[in-house]
Amino acid sequence: RYVSTFRPSVKCETEKSKAQWKTMGPAKVEVPSPKNFLQKHSKEPKLPERKKEQDSRKMPTLSVPRKTDHPLMGIQSKKNFINANAVAAIMGLAKKPQPVYVDRRQGDKHLLETSGLVPKYVKKKDYGIIPKYVTQRDEEIKRAQKEHEAYILESLKKRAMKRLSDEERNSVLQGLKKNWEEVHHEFQGLSVDIDTIPKKMHKEKLESQMKQLEHDIDVIEKHKVIYIANE
């Protein structure tokens, strides 16, 4: 019969790889003693023992008198409490009544101070004084206005700009208004049915001209001083 030459090595490897629970029969483990049974609260964590302090013998000082303490007897005061109370009542200042207001016929009282009827805001130290940010803003506006005027004067000296006189300004304004009336008259003369592309384009052109003229008229009416480039 044929016998493999690797049989001993294979047998050794199989024995090494086997575990106790894979072999036949129960594993050989030590059986716990019946004396070491599980007791109650045995698995709960236990706190370490408290160390005794050196000053544990000393009792803490108590603010309450002890049972053995006795009060001082036989002490008498020569103060006349009746006269003292009378002098304090005569010399003391009378209490002012708290200001209240009544809002109903039944006499419901409320504090006057928190009602909003007392003019507290008027009595403030800074009442009526212009805030600092307003004065700073006014100064910045004035400074910017001066810088703008200086720039305009400098440009006028260089003959780069020319100021329109009142007559020229009025004539320009009247001319713009006259042009607007003409365009508006032409716009009103358009037909009701605008069904072709040329009619639509003509209507849009008139509307844009009217808007531009209205803008120019508004600008000239707002600004009394107008500068134009000197060509």
pLDDT at 24: 62
Task: Examine residue 142 and state whether it is found in any structural domain, yes or no.
Answer: no
**Could you tell me if 100 and 109 are in contact, meaning their C-beta atoms sit under 8 angstroms apart?**
yes
pLDDT at 58: 66
**Could you tell me if 230 and 159 are in contact, meaning their C-beta atoms sit under 8 angstroms apart?**
yes
In order along its 231 residues, the chain shows pLDDT tens digits of: 888 999 999 888 887 776 655 656 666 778 888 888 888 988 898 888 877 665 556 666 767 888 888 888 888 888 899 999 999 989 988 888 888 988 888 888 888 888 888 888 888 888 888 889 999 999 999 999 999 888 887 877 666 667 788 888 888 889 999 999 999 988 888 887 888 888 889 889 999 999 999 999 998 888 888 877 665
Task: Examine residue 215 and state whether it is found in any structural domain, yes or no.
Answer: yes
Task: Examine residue 27 and state whether it is found in any structural domain, yes or no.
Answer: no
pLDDT at 54: 56
- 162: which strand partners? 228
Hunting for tokens 């803003």 — which residue is that?
137
Length of the chain: 231
Strands 100-102, 109-111: pairing kind: antiparallel
pLDDT at 86: 93
Hunting for tokens 């050989």 — which residue is that?
28
Give the residue numbers spanning the domain of 180: 162-228
Hunting for tokens 């100021």 — which residue is that?
163
Distance, C-alpha 219 to centroid of its chain: 42
Task: Examine residue 60 and state whether it is found in any structural domain, yes or no.
Answer: no
Task: Examine residue 216 and state whether it is found in any structural domain, yes or no.
Answer: yes
**Count of structural domains, the chain:** 1
The DSSP-derived string for 41-89 is: TSSS--PPPPPPPGGGGSPPP-SSPPSS-----S------HHHHHHHHH
Spatial separation of the C-alpha atoms in residues 211 and 231, rounded to whole Å: 27
Measured in Å, how far apart are the chain's first and last C-alpha atoms?
A: 129
Phi, psi of 133, deg, nearest 5 = -65, -30
pLDDT at 56: 58
What SS3 class is residue 35?
A: coil
pLDDT at 18: 67
Taking alpha carbons only, the member of 157, 158, 160 closest to residue 230 is 160
Contacts of 179 (CB under 8 A, 6+ apart): 213
Task: Examine residue 147 and state whether it is found in any structural domain, yes or no.
Answer: no
Spatial separation of the C-alpha atoms in residues 127 and 125, rounded to whole Å: 6
In the structure encoding, which two tokens stand for residue 14, read together?
């199989």
Hunting for tokens 């001066």 — which residue is that?
146
pLDDT at 42: 87
Phi, psi of 110, deg, nearest 5 = -140, 155
What SS3 class is residue 111?
A: strand
